[in-house]
Amino acid sequence: MLAAWLVTALIFGAVHLPTYDWNVVQAVVGIGIVRLILTLGYLITKNIWVSTGAHILNDWTIFGFALN
């Protein structure tokens, strides 16, 4: 379970490489760590919507601060 959690976080970070102009540290490390935290919602509840909702709330909160 731990290995799958870490591997999926690395993959999620790697998918974001183009978004972060191929900055490996920012995409894989930064986004990968955030993915680990957001995945905890799923691991605890076994409900994918908890993780999805946490991801959406996280993104929109960041967007909101950026727009102000």
Q: Is residue 54 part of a domain?
A: yes
Q: Is residue 68 part of a domain?
A: no
Whether residue 14 contacts residue 27, with contact meaning beta carbons closer than 8 Å, is answered with: yes
Owning domain of residue 54: 2-63
pTM: 0.73
- Residue 67: which pLDDT band, with cuts at 50, 70 and 90? confident
The domain tally of the chain equals 1
Q: What is the pLDDT of residues 9-43, one digit of tens each?
A: 999 999 999 989 999 999 989 999 999 999 999 99
Q: Which residues contact 43 (CB under 8 A, 6 or more apart)?
A: 1, 5
Q: Is residue 42 part of a domain?
A: yes
Residue 12: Cβ within 10 Å count: 19
Q: Which residues contact 44 (CB under 8 A, 6 or more apart)?
A: 50
